[in-house]
Amino acid sequence: MKLTRFLILIFLFYQCELIEVPLEVEPAEEKMSLSSLLIGDEGILVSVSKSFSALSGTSLAQIQENPIDALFVSRGTIQFKSNGNTILGEKFEDVPGFYFADFSAYTLGDSLEISVYDSVSTQQIKARTKIMSSVAIDSVQFRSVKENILLDTLKVYLTDPVTTQINYFVVHIYRSSSFLNILNNNDSLLVQSDSLVQIESIFSDIGIDSTILIRSYTIEKNPSNDTLIAVLSHIEEGYFRFLDARKRNENGGGGIFNEPINFPSNVENGYGYFSAHNPAYKIAIRE
């Protein structure tokens, strides 16, 4: 999803005429931004990009001339540590800014540390997270709304993990398409699609007594496509807070008449959030 957003950003830059305004303002320091995803029992995939803002030291001309180098960390050195083991990350299939490490022997609940060094900017970031267990989707129900021919409903059913702590989750709903690739590995998912995510929903089991959690979503009907993909991730509380802040910001938070939104992060000297969660999915066909 992060890669898709950056590609859209690049597209917008190419489509618009960019004008630099000569202001005497100290440029903001550019930092690295981190995101991550477990891929079944194979290992972990990490995305490393560069921050960019109106006050960034990177000029708009630089982004237009070479968006890959301007927005992605393509020459980084990635190192992981867990349970006394140290593993170096490798570039992921020549995709700029993406790195992969084989953590097939990881243990759920273990601490996982990462350090990233960018040989170009000489910056370094560090982060630590906990390896989260995957939670399967029990079933999905995809139907048309009888009272409204323009809407569909999707219900996602899952069994709440038996723990003494609060469980946090994020659900993403995708439209399937002829360009959709699903790489299924022990109920894990890596999605590459021409369609952006339709719904992102975060929730927890706070105050819920039932062992079965049900989430219901309403989505605009697409007559040419009767298939959705529901993706569920069991996440830690810190990542939940990060996604919540991002959602509030996208919904208009942080404006001059609203309270400021500070994005929580576990990345030292950088942005984003380092999370070791393992998505599971179910394909839903309209009944």
Q: Express each pLDDT in 113-136 by its tens digit.
A: 999 999 888 999 999 999 998 899
- H helices of the chain, in order, are 2-15, 60-65, 67-71, 237-250
Between 197 and 11, the more confident residue is 197
The pTM (predicted TM-score) of the whole model is: 0.78
What's 2-130's CATH class? mainly beta
Count of alpha carbons within 13 angstroms of residue 75, beta-carbon side:
7
Domain boundaries, the chain: 2-130, 137-265+273-285
- With tokens 């105050």, the residue in question is 207
User: What is the pLDDT, as a whole number, of residue 107?
Assistant: 80
What is the tens place of the pLDDT at every residue in 244-259?
988 887 765 555 445 5
Q: What is the CATH number of domain 137-265+273-285?
A: 2.60.40
Greater pLDDT, 204 or 26: 204
Supply the DSSP symbol for 72. B
Check if 2-130 and 137-265+273-285 are the same fold.
yes
